[in-house]
Amino acid sequence: MWDRLLIDCNIATMDPAVPAPFGAIENGAIGIADGRIVRVGRRTELAGNRAREVVKLDGAWVTPGLIDCHTHLVFGGNRSAEFEQRLEGASYEEIARAGGGIVFTVRATRAASAERLAEAARPRLEALMRGGVTTVEIKSGYGLDTDSECAMLRAAARLGAEHPVRVSPTLLALHALPPEYRDRREDYLHLVLDEMIPTVAEAGLADAVDAFCEGIGFTPDEVRALFECASSHHLRVKLHAEQLSNLNGAALAAEYDALSADHLEHADEAGIEAMAHAGMVAVLLPGAFYALSETKKPPVELLRKHKVPMAVATDCNPGTSPVLSPTLMLNMACTLFRLTPEEALAGMTRNAAKALALEDEIGTIAPGKAADLCVWNVERPAELSYWIGHPGPVRRIVAGVDA
Q: Residue 214, interface with Fe ion (CB under 5 A)?
A: no
Q: In angstroms, rounded to a whole number, what is the distance separating the alpha carbons of residues 149 and 141?
A: 7
Residues 104-143 that bind ligand NIG (CB under 6 A): 105
- For the bound state, the minimum distance from the C-beta of residue 217 to ligand NIG, rounded and expressed in Å, comes to 7
Considering only residues 299 through 328, tell me which ones interact with Fe ion, judged by CB under 5 A: 315
Q: What residues contact residue 294 under an 8 Å CB cut-off, 6+ apart?
A: 265, 288
CB of 400 to ligand NIG, least distance (A): 33
- Residue 368's region, left for phi above 0, alpha for psi from -120 to 50, else beta, is left
Separation of alpha carbons 319 and 330, rounded Å: 20
Q: CB-wise, 10 or 317, nearer to ligand NIG?
A: 317
For residue 105, the partner it binds in Fe ion, ligand NIG, none, with Cβ less than 5 to 8 A by kind, is ligand NIG
314 makes contact with ligand NIG (CB under 6 A): no
Of residues 254 and 316, the one with the C-beta less far from Fe ion? 316
- Nearest distance from residue 240's CB to Fe ion, in Å? 5
48: left (phi over 0), alpha (psi -120 to 50) or beta: left
Rounded to a whole number of angstroms, the minimum distance from the CB of residue 374 to Fe ion is 24
* Sign of the CA dihedral running 372, 374, 358, 200: negative
Q: Compute the distance between CA of residue 290 and CA of residue 336 in angstroms, rounded to an integer.
A: 8
Residue range at the interface with ligand NIG (CB under 6 A); choices 57-65, 156-164, 246-254, 314-322: 314-322
Please answer whether residues 390 and 374 qualify as being in contact, where contact means their C-beta atoms are separated by less than 8 angstroms: no
The β-bridge partners of 240 are 212, 262
Closest CA to 200 of 234, 224, 166: 234
Among the listed ranges 120-128, 315-323, 327-335, 376-384, the one in contact with ligand NIG (CB under 6 A) is 315-323
Q: Which residues pair with 174 in a beta bridge?
A: 211
Closest approach of ligand NIG to the CB of residue 171, in Å: 14
Who's near 147: CB < 8 A, 6+ residues apart?
none
CA distances from 29 to 87, 99, 210 (A): 50, 55, 39
Contact between 240 and ligand NIG per CB under 6 A: yes
- The correct pick among 2, 22, 212, 376 for binding ligand NIG (CB under 6 A) is 212
Residues 69-88 that bind Fe ion (CB under 5 A): none
Question: Are 169 and 403 in contact, with CB atoms under 8 Å apart?
Answer: no
| Residue 6 CA neighbour count, 13 Å, CB half | 34
In this chain, which stretch among 146-154, 313-321, 368-376, 379-387 interacts with ligand NIG, using CB under 6 A?
313-321
> Which CB atom, from 68 or from 372, has the smaller least distance to ligand NIG?
68
Site string for ligand NIG, 317-356 (x = CB under 6 A): xxxxx-----------------------------------
Candidates 11, 57, 62, 102; binder of ligand NIG (CB under 6 A) is: 102
Tally: H helices and E strands in the chain: 17, 16
In the complex, the smallest distance separating the C-beta of residue 148 from Fe ion, rounded to whole angstroms, is: 18
Closer CB to ligand NIG, 317 or 385, in the complex: 317
**Binder to ligand NIG among 64, 100, 101, 271 (CB under 6 A)?**
101
- Which residue, judged by CB position, is nearest to ligand NIG in the bound state? 319
C-beta closer to ligand NIG: residue 134 or 317: 317
- What count of Cα atoms within 13 Å lies in the side-chain half-sphere of residue 168? 27
Contact residues for Fe ion, defined by CB under 5 A: 315
Contact residues for ligand NIG, defined by CB under 6 A: 72, 101-102, 105, 212, 240, 243, 288, 315, 317-321
